[in-house]
Amino acid sequence: MLPRITAVLLLTVAALPQTVAGSVDAAELYRIVTAYYYAIGENRLEEAMSFYHEDSPQVDETRRELVFGQSAYLQRTSTLSLDLVHHDGERAVVLATHRHLRIAGIKFMEALAETRYVLRRQGDAWKIWSSADRSPRH
């Protein structure tokens, strides 16, 4: 039984991007970012917003963008990588690469994006404080 549990745990860790697997904190931050996009893809606005820090200066703008996006297109996002750039116990900075697929009617739009996230503690939980797209403009 123990070898089976060990194998399952090893496969679970191996499934995470390599930049995340070495750190429990990075794995938690990866989970937050991917769960945020999963909620968006499922059109669960309140669940998506629950990943944002209640004092974030971006919370109102993010809510407006998500409401607009829900009415304009279906979005699916895959997080291809997530690198922990800074961590000091109260604040973490991660750099993520995402593949966004947006479907509007019969039109499919795909884009790769590099996004910088700042996460801060809200009680015992990490929450998104801000995000900034770092992708080059075409």
> Residue 32: enclosing H or E segment and its boundaries?
helix 24-41
Does residue 63 lie within any of the structural domains?
A: yes
Does residue 16 lie within any of the structural domains?
A: yes
Query: Structurally, how many domains does the chain consist of?
Result: 1
User: What contacts 82, CB < 8 A, 6 or more positions away?
Assistant: 17, 19, 20, 26, 29, 30, 33, 94, 95, 96, 97
**Residue 135 clears pLDDT 90, i.e. is over it:** no
Does residue 26 lie within any of the structural domains?
A: yes
Distances from the Cα of 80 to the Cα of 20, 33, 43, 44, angstroms: 11, 11, 21, 22
Does residue 120 lie within any of the structural domains?
A: yes
Task: Give me the domain span that covers residue 80.
Answer: 2-133
Residue with the two structure tokens 């801000």 = 130
Write out pLDDT tens, residues 54-91: 999 999 999 999 999 888 888 999 999 999 999 988 89
**Residue 3 pLDDT level (bands cut at 50, 70, 90):** very low
Does residue 138 lie within any of the structural domains?
A: no
Does residue 24 lie within any of the structural domains?
A: yes
**CA dihedral sign, ordered 13, 19, 25, 27:** negative
Does residue 55 lie within any of the structural domains?
A: yes
Write out pLDDT tens, residues 106-117: 888 999 999 999
**Would you state the pLDDT for residue 137?**
54
Does residue 57 lie within any of the structural domains?
A: yes
Say which CATH number the domain at 51 has. 3.10.450.50
Q: What's the pTM value of the predicted model, to 2 decimals?
A: 0.77
Q: What is the mean pLDDT of residues 18-34?
A: 72
